[in-house]
Structure 1
Amino acid sequence: MKNWLEELTRAIAKPTGKQKEAVCRYLHSLSAVCAVGTVSFVFSGQPWSWSLALKVAALAFWGVVLFF
């Protein structure tokens, strides 16, 4: 258990190049999912409401944040 905790601490404090690349790929995938979700909500045919507008805005916001 101690070895696993040390590895986790090292991965967060000083990640290797491969670990950085893996995290970037993961965040890029989440960004793409947010973009798809945004487009899906917009073209879903649901009547617009404040709830739907908030969902679209949140997905668009997080899509941009995760992309950068």
Structure 2
Amino acid sequence: MIEFENATFKDFENISKLNIDESSKIFEKYLSYKKYDDHQSYRIISKSGCSSKMILESKYGQEFISFK
């Protein structure tokens, strides 16, 4: 089904093979999960200042480089 850890609201727009009642129950579980996770679906915690090179709190590593 849907992995709540990587899901966004967009993933719940049209869940195939489920009716509206079943979809809403899954969405309710997702909202409960997000409440438990401090609602951090889009927040990235920085351990340094904002610049092109940052130290982030992440399970994928710590140092990230961004160029626009």
**Same fold (TM > 0.5):** no
- Indicate the structure with greater helix content: 1
Shorter-chain TM range is 0.3 to 0.5
Normalised by the length of structure 2, the TM-score is 0.35
Structure with more relative contact order (C-alpha pairs < 8 Å, separation 6 or more): 1
- Indicate the structure with greater strand content: 2
Normalised by the length of structure 1, the TM-score is 0.35
> If you compute each CA radius of gyration, which structure gives the higher value, 1 or 2?
1
